[in-house]
Amino acid sequence: MKDNYDVIVIGAGPAGYAAAIRCAQLGMETACIDKSLGTDGKPVLGGTCLNWGCIPSKALLDASHKFAEAQHGFADIGIKVGKVAIDVPKMMERKDKVVAGLTGGIKGLFKGNGVDALYGSGKLLSGCEVEFTDHDGKVTKLQAEHVILAPGSVPVEIPPTPLTDDLIVDSTGALEFSSVPKRVGVIGAGVIGLELGSVWNRLGSEVVILEALDEFLPMADERIARDALKSMEKQGLDIRLGTRVTAAEVSGKTVNVTYQTKDGDESLTVDKLIVAVGRRPFTEGLLAPDSGVNLDERGYLYVNDLCATDASNVYAVGDVVRGPMLAHKGTEEGVMVAERIAGHKPLVNYDCVPSVIYTHPEIAWVGKTEQELKSSNDAYKVGAFPFAANGRALAGNEAEGSVKIIADAETDRILGVHVFGPQASEMVAQAVIAMEFDASAEDLGLTMFAHPTLSEAVHEAALGVAGHAIHMVNRKPKK
């Protein structure tokens, strides 16, 4: 550890480690501070995403989907299997192995690129000075030319449901169950709640999701959200909208949950209660009073469009700043800031940030929703194509859902793409590329897609914007 660096990054999640690696690649002396500890008490890199979020949840989603498919889907395609059983400890062991491989990979990338990994806490002082406290309590003052703040986020806790060691848990605790609970309650029908609810539903739990909003997935396109809700309820998820949880009381080995609906107070008893009402910026202990960095009214670090804070040469990226809390958004911000420190001038296109919910089928979108365009009175046109008319989807027994493309009524420029269906997370990337290059729906319709592929649904939806889809009957335009 040196006492002076070109760049010090605080936080080693996707935003922080990407920033640190790119700074080092650009020839800057770089250190990255992170205080995370694994279940073994040893320092780990990768932040929430790799350790307690994106990666472990996807490992469980993948395993639980395969289990459900073996139970219910193989017979449809002519594969007979005996009784299928789940080994939860083995599933968790594999999840932990995946996580360990990736976090160890970040450590290797730091070493290979010359980034100094400093394990402990970092606090920004004035003048780009950082107070580093290691895990043994030793305090060191470090000086930097530039500082990048990437401390990430933590789960939101709510007063009616105080967390316990094992019965009332947040999203992290929900990834560590040692057996399949008989009944699981989930507070929140957002991305985290739906994914975790799907995992335990597939493994055999009765899952009840309590959502305070009256509308399901209001951030997604209305049609996609409606279709997704029907699909999830068909899978067995009990999703109760317009329910506000008022209390949760532990009674022995169960939790009694009280909630309000338009009809009055109701109650629910579950074996596990998962609180998944969102995440908040993690800024505790990050800033000295004279750091010069300000917070906005929602507790995020205030930055401009280039992720610069109010303090000279201090930047902030990832979950701790405005915009969606998405690992890929933070990664791009981290790389952008590194490039700009080096004198280059890249920008992050916030109009092209994809969102994905890894249920099955998956939900993915980028750009504007139809309801947003309606509310702003923008003229637009729509093309949609169902996977039920896609040969590859039918052959793979994955024909649920559709692709929807929204384009400007006058210029035909693609404004938004929304996918509910198999591999939606992969297909939305095609839309992001098209939108990054300001493509029109016609451009996408004139692009050749391989056959047979799921991606042909994107092609057909683009053709459908102009009423030219080949593999479905096009709707006649309204007069």
**Residues tagged active-site:** 451
> Which residue in this structure is represented by tokens 């998405």?
326
For 324, counting Cβ atoms within 10 Å of its Cβ (0-12 exposed, 13-18 middle, 19+ buried), the class is middle
Structure tokens at 159: 């007063």
Quote helix, strand, coil % in the chain, to nearest 5.
35, 25, 40
Closest among 247, 285, 253 to 272, alpha carbons compared: 253
Closest among 478, 461, 294, 320 to 389, alpha carbons compared: 461
For 51, counting Cβ atoms within 10 Å of its Cβ (0-12 exposed, 13-18 middle, 19+ buried), the class is buried
Closest among 43, 29, 206 to 114, alpha carbons compared: 29
Residue 443, helix vs strand vs coil: helix
Those residues whose C-beta lies under 8 Å from the C-beta of residue 224, and which sit 6 or more positions away, are 217, 363, 365, 402, 404, 418, 419, 420
For 409, counting Cβ atoms within 10 Å of its Cβ (0-12 exposed, 13-18 middle, 19+ buried), the class is middle
Half-sphere exposure of 93 (CA within 13 A, CB side): 5
Residue 212, helix vs strand vs coil: coil
426-437: burial string, b at 16+ Cβ within 10 Å, e else: ebbebbbebbee
Q: Which own/partner pairs from 225-228 qualify as long-range (CB within 8 Å, at least 24 positions apart)? A: 227/401, 227/402, 227/420, 228/357, 228/359, 228/361, 228/363, 228/420
Q: Is 93 left (phi over 0), alpha (psi -120 to 50) or beta?
A: alpha
Amino acid, single-letter form, for residue 320: V
Closest among 204, 173, 251, 187 to 72, alpha carbons compared: 204
State how far the Cα of 453 lies from the Cα of 465, in Å rounded to an integer. 20
Output Rg (C-alpha) for the chain, integer angstroms.
24
Q: Which residues pair with 43 in a beta bridge?
A: 37
